[in-house]
Structure 1
Amino acid sequence: MPEPMASASAVPTDPSVSEPSTPSVGTFRPGDAVDLILACSRKDRLLAKSGTPYLALELRDRTGTIPGRVFRDADRLGAGFERGDLVRVQGRVERFRDELQLDVHRIARAPQGAADPAAFLPVAYRDLDELDGFLEHLAGEVHDHGLRALLDDLLADDALRAEWRRAPCSRGGHHAYLGGLLEHTVAVGTLALETCQLHVRLNSDLLVTAALVHDIGKTREFAYGAEIELTEAGRLLGHVELGLRMLEERAARIASLDEARRLALAHCVLTHHGPDAAPGRRFASAEALALHRINALDGAVKGALEQGLPGYGSRPGG
């Protein structure tokens, strides 16, 4: 085990002690002394030209990431933490090849309970309360009694609403931050409503409902630590299957939602990534096709804005 970080200026071992002397990664400047908790999102043991091992790290908080290097006692210090841990770090910010880098002097796994891992994950830019209001407004545009009852049942579930606000859309694609699911849901719902105004033959109640629930399985797909991970159910089943199960369970309790509409809604959810994602199936309704295109539009545009156009794939992650 690594030696405890103890000295006159060392990181305190009591997690209740207020620590960061440097507020956040986003405020780092060359020469800053760092003494705080960060999330370790990369840890590689490499060899210098001299043959001496060193650690290449990526350290993160909600405001950004910074590469870190451990050149002294790399193996000893590296034994004290793993990728994905919250770590207590001491070091100094330096400029290397026109980029900031953290020269790490001491690093160890943070004490249990020292910080909430989710506090180190990126968050939505938009206000979540405002997005919640838009979600409720869009649900109010659904007038079919059965579909509206289903939406009301979902929106009345406080635990589900909390996860809806918390979940991302992906771990590395579009809307890959806390609150990303709600942001994407509202965007797709808004586009669906506008599309129905342009194409009045579309079943607006079905398309808007499908837009609001197409990714609801993502509320069960992700786990939150120092990084966004997959739950076991998310890894084995994926958000489409999880969402279909959630909707079927809820819909079975709603007498006014007959099987024909339940199947129509399930088909939209099942094919929202396109028929290629559902082998052997084709779009059976214009609403399912519209949802697929709208979902792809929001995912692709958001991905291009966040990651740039070059190399951005055509298939969305939401």
Structure 2
Amino acid sequence: MLSLYPNEKIENQPVVVRKIDKKVGQNDKGYYHLQISYGIKSYDAKIWNDSPEIGDKINPGCLAYITGVAKDFKGTIQIHINKIEKIENPSQDLINKVIPSCYLNSDEMEKSLFEIINTINNIHIKQLLNNIFTNDTIKNAFFKKAAGAEIHHAYVGGLAQHTLEVARIVINFTQVFPYVNYDIAVASALLHDIGKIAELSDFPENKYTTRGKLIGHINIGVEILNSFISKIPDFPNQIKYEIEHCILSHHGTLEMGSPVLPMTIEAIAVHNADKSSAEINAFHLAIERDTGTDAWTDYNPTYKRAIKKSINI
């Protein structure tokens, strides 16, 4: 993590350029406004000239070396960049250092995933899950992708972490509410965001793909589900419909992008588990990313509030 303090000098620091926009100041002079990051930490930055060469070479998603100084701007650290140089063909080691990553490694998460799958009793559902998560294409993407472009679990391994959190919350729901069907709810939790392997691009870009924008991860997830079900002889239609419904309704409302509302106990369990995982992690990310010097984050436009930073008691 890159933690900076006012007046701290920065020299040849590798960063990901997340955003860059050309602006005009009150003095009618042009400048560039950037958002740059190293790991989870993200900073606003300024380049106080409007050289077209900068706009031509530096683009969102690229890696760059920056030299400059950290400044206090209204209680928030802002980087004034004196020099920026795009990193052409960065090594994988450098990419791994700069991009945000999950605190859990993929081996740990893969082990946990299959431990959960092994708790499934229904032979058709267990076969379905094993077939999906041992598929090389899905496996390679699942443990590398984020669960979101910006708001929650927006880092390498975020999709797997979020999926495991949702599954564990659902498992706890089944212990509190024994009438929730364990196999349907847990399988749906593991598959609810599987479409994000195609909705989001790889890091360091981590943007919505054309397919992701046009179709969305919910519909892509149902496509993946049905493509694997079609290869399992005599897979029960009723189970198929139940899992499909949980995937289709997991955002909870039509306004939030679900084509149908949750209409089964398992679907409402998956929706609430998904919401809990996403919102708690989003608050955590907002705190981790914040560059302010006080006990509260800046106003969060997604949740329409500032968020109090965690304290040790």
Corresponding position of 1:17: none
1:266 counterpart = 2:244: yes
Corresponding position of 1:35: 12
Corresponding position of 2:161: 183
| 1:208 Cα deviation after fit | 0.9
One-letter amino acid of the structure 2 residue matched with residue 193 of structure 1: I
1:301 counterpart = 2:287: no
Alpha-carbon spacing, 1:192–1:49, altered in 2? closer, same or farther (3 Å):
closer
CA distance in 1, matches of 2:36, 2:78: 10
8 A Cα contact 1:167 1:219, kept in partner: yes
What SS does structure 2 have at the residue aligned with 1:38?
strand
| TM-score where L is the length of structure 2 | 0.81
* Correspondences of 1:22-101 after superposition (within 5 Å): 25-26=2-3, 30-72=7-49, 74-95=51-72, 99-101=76-78
Corresponding position of 1:211: 189
CA distance in 2, matches of 1:284, 1:200: 18
Rg comparison, structure with higher value:
1
Aligned length: 290
Alpha-carbon spacing, 1:300–1:57, altered in 2? closer, same or farther (3 Å):
closer
Match of 2:131 among 153, 164, 172: 153
| 1:113 Cα deviation after fit | 4.3
Alpha-carbon spacing, 1:52–1:212, altered in 2? closer, same or farther (3 Å):
same
| 1:28 Cα deviation after fit | 7.1
Alpha-carbon spacing, 1:272–1:73, altered in 2? closer, same or farther (3 Å):
closer
| 1:233 Cα deviation after fit | 1.1
| 1:45 Cα deviation after fit | 2.3
8 A Cα contact 2:17 2:64, kept in partner: yes
| 1:154 Cα deviation after fit | 1.4
8 A Cα contact 1:144 1:205, kept in partner: yes
Unmatched tracts of structure 1, length 5 or more: 1-23
1:126 counterpart = 2:104: yes
8 A Cα contact 1:26 1:63, kept in partner: no
| 1:126 Cα deviation after fit | 2.9
8 A Cα contact 2:32 2:50, kept in partner: no
Any idea what the Cα deviations from partners look like across 1:126-162, whole Å, max 9, x if unmatched? 3332222211111111010100000110122233122
8 A Cα contact 1:118 1:225, kept in partner: no
Unmatched tracts of structure 2, length 5 or more: 288-298, 305-313
CA distance in 1, matches of 2:111, 2:232: 24
One-letter amino acid of the structure 1 residue matched with residue 157 of structure 2: G
Alpha-carbon spacing, 1:145–1:235, altered in 2? closer, same or farther (3 Å):
same
What SS does structure 2 have at the residue aligned with 1:68?
strand
Identity %: 21
Any idea what the Cα deviations from partners look like across 1:137-192, whole Å, max 9, x if unmatched? 11111010100000110122233122111111111222122211111111111122
